[in-house]
A and B are shown apart, each in its own frame.
Chain A
Amino acid sequence: MYKWQKLGRVFNPEEITRGTWMKEYAQAPSVVIFEKFVRVYFCCRPLPDEKGQYVSYMAYVDLHRNNLFEILEISEEPVLKLGELGTFDEFGTYPTSVIKVEEDIRVYYGSFARCESVPFNAAIGVAKSEDNGKTFWRLGPGPILSYSPDEPFVLGSPKIRKFGDTWYIWYCAGKKWVNVNGSKQPVYKIRMAESTDGLNWKKQGKDILENVLEENECQASADVIFANGKYHMFFSYRYNVDFKTKGRGYRIGYAHSTDLKNWIREDRKAGMEISSDGGWDSESVSYAHLFRMDDRIYMLYQGNQMGKTGFGLAILEGDLY
Chain B
Amino acid sequence: MKWRKLGKIFDPTEHKLPNNCEAFAQSPQALVFEDFVRIYFTTRAQEANGKYLGHISFVDLNSDFNTVLRVADKTVIPLGELGSFDEHGIFPMNVIRKNKQVYGYTSGLSRRVSVPLETSIGLAISDDDGLTYKKYGSGPILTSSLYEPFLVCDAFVAYMENLYHMWYIYGIKWIKNAEIDGAPSRVYKIAHAVSIDGISWEKEGRLLISDKLGPEECQALPTVIKLKSRYHMFFCYRQAIGFRSYRDRGYRIGYAYSDDLENWTRDDENVGIDVSEGDWDSEMMCYPHVFNFRDKTYLLYNGNEFGKYGFGIAVLEQN
- Could you tell me which A residues sit within 8 Å of B by CB distance? 83-88, 90-91, 113-118, 121, 123, 126, 139-144, 146-154, 174, 176-177, 179, 184, 186, 199
Contact = CB atoms under 8 A, between A and B. Distances in A.
Given A85-B176, A153-B84, A174-B83, A148 B139 contact: yes
Given A85-B176, A86-B174, A114-B112, A176 B146 contact: no
A177 B110 CA distance: 14
Contacts of A144: 145-146
B115 A152 contact: no
B137 A115 contact: no
Contacts of B148: 142
Contacts of B313: none
A87 B112 CA distance: 11
A141 B149 contact: yes
Given A85-B184, A117-B88, A151 B139 contact: yes
Given A85-B114, A147-B143, A177 B184 contact: no
B83 A150 contact: no
Interface in B126-160: 136-141, 143-151
A26 B178 CA distance: 37
A177 B81 contact: yes
A114 B188 CA distance: 21
A128 to B, nearest CB: 12
Interface of B: 80-85, 87-88, 110-115, 118, 120, 122-123, 136-141, 143-151, 171, 173-174, 176, 184, 186
- B interface SS class: loop
A177 B112 contact: no
- Give the top 10 A-B pairs by smallest Cβ distance, nearest first: A149-B137, A152-B139, A142-B149, A140-B146, A116-B111, A86-B174, A114-B113, A177-B83, A141-B149, A86-B115
A89 to B, nearest CB: 9
Contacts of A176: 81-83
A121 B150 contact: no
21 contacts: A85-B114, A86-B184, A115-B83, A116-B110, A116-B112, A117-B88, A117-B111, A121-B110, A142-B145, A142-B150, A143-B149, A147-B143, A148-B139, A149-B122, A149-B136, A150-B137, A152-B137, A174-B83, A176-B83, A179-B82, A199-B146
A148 to B, nearest CB: 5
Nearest to A139: B146
A91 B111 CA distance: 16
B139 A149 contact: yes
Nearest to B176: A85
Contact of B144 (A146, A154, A199): A146
A153 B85 contact: yes
A144 B143 CA distance: 11
Contacts of B174: 84-86
Best-surrounded residue of B83, B122, B150 (most CB of chain A within 10 A): B83
B104 to A, nearest CB: 14
B85 A142 contact: no
Given A85-B114, A86-B114, A147-B120, A118 B82 contact: yes
Given A117-B88, A142-B148, A86 B139 contact: no
Nearest to A149: B137
B111 to A, nearest CB: 4
A55 to B, nearest CB: 11
